[in-house]
Amino acid sequence: MAFAFILKFMDKINQAILQCLRMNARLSWQDIGRKVHLSGQAVAMRVVQMQDSGVISGYTIRTRPQSRYWVTVFMTTAEFDAFEKYIAQQPEVLEAYKTAGEGCYQLAVEIDSSERLDALLSSLLTFGTYRVHTVVRQVK
């Protein structure tokens, strides 16, 4: 039922609106409307419908890839609740996932200095060990 509801909103115009938002989420409704041949008010109504139906679940920004790190945490304690509360309080941790497979958690970290990264990683040692990955270059 929910899938059919979402499909109702995914016509070619909505797909074009989503493409505009993917390219630049700061475009005004009027600018998007000019590209998809609708009024700004009509674009705004469609965006609200897509938000309400779950097609659009949030907005984000892109930053320099050099400041983004992926940290895999290998817990050495069973203090999962304490760890999750701790990382929820860390503004540098943008996303956190409990994972299956290699590692217990995957963190997306955005941080502007190696000193702050070192401090965050040192604080994680209370809960376990970690592995850090970073971007070499963006390919898409």
pLDDT tens-digit readout, 94-131: 899 999 999 999 999 988 888 989 999 999 999 999 99
Question: Quick one: CA torsion of 83, 75, 127, 78, rounded to 10 degrees?
Answer: 70
Domains of the chain and any CATH numbers? 2-53 (1.10.10.10), 65-134 (3.30.70.920)
pLDDT tens-digit readout, 71-89: 999 999 999 999 999 999 9
Calpha distance 20→60 (Å, rounded): 14
